[in-house]
Amino acid sequence: MASFKSDRLGEDVHRELTAILRELKDPRIDPMLSIVRVELSNDLSHCKVFVSSFRGMDAAKESVSGLRSAEGFIRRELFRRLQIRKAPALHFVADDSIAHAAEINQKLKDLGC
């Protein structure tokens, strides 16, 4: 039962974080930033957010530093929008899965698949 609740809340957090990221004005945050996945702890107190940028890993790492400085605002907005008892602590992690997927796609095109 708890797994269903955390999965559903994880989807809600993903959706709202995507909307909140579009509203942030920090120049360090890449406008081409994408949230790859969200992992919530079983007790819903911690949330690990994996972000990736179309511009590469360096842009994603720079965006993570901007997101960490805006963590309080993002957490307050999540609390307000989702109307939950306690907003989870956010941990942003740079991920290179978009670049990896693009590399695999290019290799498949080179092979003629």
Task: Render 1-29 in DSSP notation, one character per residue.
Answer: -HHHHHHHHHHHHHHHHHHHHHH---TTS
pLDDT of the chain along its 113 residues, tens only? Answer: 457 777 888 899 999 999 999 999 999 999 989 999 999 988 889 999 999 988 888 999 999 999 999 999 999 999 999 988 888 999 999 988 777 888 889 899 998 86
Q: Is the pTM of this model over 0.85?
A: no
Query: What confidence score (pLDDT) does residue 2 get?
Result: 53
**Integer Cα distance of 47 and 50 in angstroms:** 10
What is the rounded CA–CA span in Å between residue 99 and residue 37?
A: 15
**Rounded to whole angstroms, how far apart are CA atoms 97 and 51?**
9
pLDDT of amino acid 99: 76
Query: Is 74:17 a contact under the CB 8 Å cutoff?
Result: yes
